[in-house]
Structure 1
Amino acid sequence: MTDQAGAGDSSERTAHRLTTRETAERLGVKPETVYAYVSRGQLSSNRAPGGRGSTFDAAEVDALARRTGRREMTSPGGEFTFRTGITLIEGDRYCFRGVDATELARRHTYEEIAEWLWTGELHTGAHFTAPYEALAAARRAVGALPAHSGSTDRLRVAVVAAAAADPLRFDLSREAVLGGARSLIPTLVGALPTAGGSRDGSGPDGDAGASAASGLARQLWPRLTARPADEASLEVLDTALGLLIDHDLAASTLAARVAASARAHPYAVVSAGLGVLEGPLHGAASGLAHRMLAEALERGGAAPVVTDHLRTGRRVPGLGHRLYTGEDPRATALFALLAEIPRAAPALAAARDVATTAARHAPLHANVDMALAVLSVSSGMAPEAGETVFAISRTAGWIAHALEEYEERPLRMRPVGEYTGPRPPRPLPDATESPSQ
């Protein structure tokens, strides 16, 4: 259809046509870009009735969207939206590929849920094994870090070392990515020192063979606490790993998808996610909740702790989530398991006390950071333990999103900056000597 179409059939054709604004929304671009498509011959237009504006054939617009991969649209609130088949958050629940995520986490291991996210198939008994060379390289790299390094520092270094040990890392075929993911996750766990500071193995591969048969939660436990593992606590940890695998397009996941859009290999995708995760408003939030719960237990109640936070203008950690009106379903699931562990009772009571006390100021409910804090405080873990659990778990989600993004047009996420600086032309600035001189 062209601009020269006859006027006699215009009313019939207009019924199947879109305005410029509708076309821009369908393509996920600005109106100016729509006219750029017309000028390049990628899209045809008709003058709208009355001569004001243009109209576009809906089928032709949809065909262009398929060719260019511009499937994202801007929501009424101005936010980018991406089509994904991984996680749906609806009401006060969330689902992995259409299945209730809390039910999956209660019934299946972390590895099984990861396979479900990656393949859409539930592989019972799935286990991940760290390759010798990758694990040895990761442990050497992590061992060279300063003693005060945090767990996320170690994980970032371990990812780089594992990538360097994998000559096939640039193979972005689905099977290669899945094979690398199944190796990377246990490598990250195995590269972390145990809570007592040892490697709990006699060689560079240490306990890799035994831990592969016992599940990732059992491998991770001694890296989080020196206390012996019991089955009830391992169940809480494994459930937490399963619950945290993905949560739609959180900030770290968006960073991972941007990296995948540039066709970065999976290790670089995970590195991008880890870089964002370390922020205090994301993966590190559970550490703040840990410290608050520990203080509440030390001071004998939540009231003075909550008061101190509000007095200094700080938000009370572990409360509220922008996607849920009630309690975070991940927190609800973990609280139910923690209630079965006697030693967790004081920390769990403190968490409930914090939520009840803070509710007098604002109607906020506990989120998953609070539940992770109850686990870490009651198990003798360091404050950053929740961040470690978060990072290990979410690695599988970043890989799932990378697999989706590799199927899309490369470099499709290219926003246009709105320049707010001085307008050109301006004269060259006067040169000054560097302060170091």
Structure 2
Amino acid sequence: MQSMSDEEPQVVPTASDERYLTTAEVARRLDVKTETVYAYASRGMLRSVRLPGRRGSFFAQAEVERFVARGRDERPPSGAVERIRTELTLLDDDELHYRGRRATDLASSHSFESVATLLWTGELPEHESFPTDGPSTDVVRTALAALPAAARTTDRFKVAVAVLGAVDPLRFDLSPAAVVRVGRRLVAVLADALPGEPGGGDPIAERLSGKLGDRPADPSLLDLALVLLADHDLAVSTVAVRVAASARAHPYAAVSAGLGAVDGQYHGAASTLAHRFLRDAADDPLGALAERQRAGGVPGFGHRVYRERDPRADALFAALRRHAAARDVMAVVDAVSPGAGTFPNVDLALAALAHAFGLRPDAGEAIFALARCAGWLAHAIEEYREPGLRFRPVGVYSGTRPPR
């Protein structure tokens, strides 16, 4: 019998006329295996109880009947992850929307701070500021000073988030207001604590502009990119965040889970690969294309969700074309795009932004990770409202069977 140790705490009911079913009876009623009943219970979809004087787990018949009434389409099959309902982001017809608003429209009219607030609260302020937290920034800078100079910016973010969580005694307050306070503080400290010269203004994009390379990037372009990358539905890093939040990990730990997933070459690191491609293509466009095609694909082109265009890339490229500093790199983009076989995505646009201002090769990863903190925390707020530990797929054991 599968252990029930990872469920919500079991309840011993008081005396009543309510009828209870055994696990086997529930399995027959649902036409599933007993293991699937345990999976439903571990995800909080059914609640098991203990009955005085009787062994095993029991389930209130009325609750089981309500579960049946919701319909089998509302329940995942055995081993599947429960459907995730979200009010945050819609990807539809090659468009990206945050809470019903087109992301590209928001990027042209509101700051990253305002859009982050929209994701967290549903309200869209005209002006929003994330104040500097001097003491927290100093603590994080001390920790970052121990890293080698060659450490990537996303590695610095990981350390910073861990330190911020460790010094926050109220980190286990999972209320929406508390998570919003964490988000404002976390984003501000990540921008402020990085080595380099801060910009002259209060917006996050200005504070970040001199910290990604030897010369400042245009804050308006950074802000545009941050808004466009703030969320993207259930990307792999966002699923990692929601799984952590389902276990009631505090917001800093949930963001750390997202940063871990971002480290993969198929996710946040994709813009660094695109940066290398554009660097090589500047000298030999056809040669760089041929080399990547031989290796299996051209970085910065195509997408698993979008079919004909990436609206984020379109918006960022349009802004770059209006900027004199991007003239050379946009000529490279135009030279390689016809031969790539599909449309350019936001990773190529981030790489072009980095080349335009001489930013570090990993600058795109840093912009991506900082922006996505907004979406991750918004998803954490949603997940904290759901039953705990609801993501509990049933493993299909394929190893050696123990002797009987």
TM-score by length of 2: 0.83
Aligned with 1:414: secondary structure? coil
Q: Alignment identity in percent?
A: 44
Distance 1:97 1:144, change over 3 A: same
Alignment of 1:279 with 2:286, yes or no, is no
How many residue pairs get matched?
A: 368
For residue 214 of structure 1, what is the aligned residue in structure 2?
Answer: 202
Distance 1:164 1:37, change over 3 A: closer
Provide Cα deviations, 1:355-410, integer angstroms capped at 9, x if missing partner. 21122xxxx21110010011001110111000000010001111000000110111
Provide Cα deviations, 1:2-53, integer angstroms capped at 9, x if missing partner. 9xxxxxxxxxxxxxxx9748xx99x9959xx9999898333479xxxxxxxx
Q: 1:42 aligns with which of 60, 65, 69?
A: 60
For residue 394 of structure 2, what is the aligned residue in structure 1?
Answer: 416
Alignment of 1:332 with 2:350, yes or no, is no
Aligned with 2:97: secondary structure? strand
Q: Match for 2:376: what amino acid? A: W
For residue 384 of structure 1, what is the aligned residue in structure 2?
Answer: 362
Contact 2:242 2:380 in 1 (8 A): yes
Provide Cα deviations, 1:197-237, integer angstroms capped at 9, x if missing partner. xxx4xxxxxx6xx86x53011111111122245xxx32211
Alignment of 1:346 with 2:343, yes or no, is no
Contact 1:28 1:73 in 2 (8 A): no
For residue 227 of structure 2, what is the aligned residue in structure 1?
Answer: 242
For residue 125 of structure 1, what is the aligned residue in structure 2?
Answer: 127
For residue 244 of structure 2, what is the aligned residue in structure 1?
Answer: 259
| Deviation for aligned residue 1:61 | 3.0
Aligned with 2:210: secondary structure? helix
Distance 1:267 1:257, change over 3 A: same
Q: 1:298 aligns with which of 259, 271, 283?
A: 283
CA distance in 1, matches of 2:362, 2:246: 31
For residue 192 of structure 1, what is the aligned residue in structure 2?
Answer: 194
Aligned with 1:420: secondary structure? coil
Aligned with 2:91: secondary structure? strand
RMSD over equivalenced CA pairs, Å: 3.3
Distance 1:191 1:228, change over 3 A: closer
CA distance in 2, matches of 1:281, 1:62: 40
CA distance in 2, matches of 1:416, 1:44: 25
Alignment of 1:407 with 2:385, yes or no, is yes
Distance 1:92 1:306, change over 3 A: same
Distance 1:19 1:410, change over 3 A: closer
CA distance in 2, matches of 1:410, 1:168: 20
Contact 2:309 2:343 in 1 (8 A): yes
CA distance in 1, matches of 2:354, 2:159: 24
Distance 1:71 1:393, change over 3 A: farther
Aligned with 2:128: secondary structure? coil
CA distance in 1, matches of 2:372, 2:46: 41
Q: Match for 1:399: what amino acid? A: L
The structure number with the bigger radius of gyration is 1
Q: 1:317 aligns with which of 292, 296, 299?
A: 299
Contact 1:239 1:334 in 2 (8 A): yes
Alignment of 1:307 with 2:295, yes or no, is no
| Deviation for aligned residue 1:183 | 0.6
Alignment of 1:163 with 2:151, yes or no, is no
CA distance in 2, matches of 1:36, 1:266: 26
Q: 1:270 aligns with which of 249, 255, 265?
A: 255
For residue 94 of structure 2, what is the aligned residue in structure 1?
Answer: 92
| Deviation for aligned residue 1:62 | 5.1
Contact 2:39 2:392 in 1 (8 A): no
Distance 1:270 1:425, change over 3 A: same
Q: Match for 1:215: what amino acid? A: P
Aligned with 1:95: secondary structure? strand
Distance 1:74 1:335, change over 3 A: farther
CA distance in 2, matches of 1:156, 1:35: 36
CA distance in 2, matches of 1:43, 1:413: 24
Q: 1:107 aligns with which of 101, 106, 109?
A: 109
Query: Where in structure 2 are there 5+ consecutive unaligned residues?
Result: 1-17, 20-28, 50-56
Contact 1:156 1:274 in 2 (8 A): yes
CA distance in 1, matches of 2:225, 2:383: 26
Aligned with 1:81: secondary structure? coil
Distance 1:37 1:228, change over 3 A: closer
CA distance in 1, matches of 2:314, 2:45: 47
Q: 2:136 aligns with which of 134, 137, 152?
A: 134
Contact 1:114 1:245 in 2 (8 A): yes
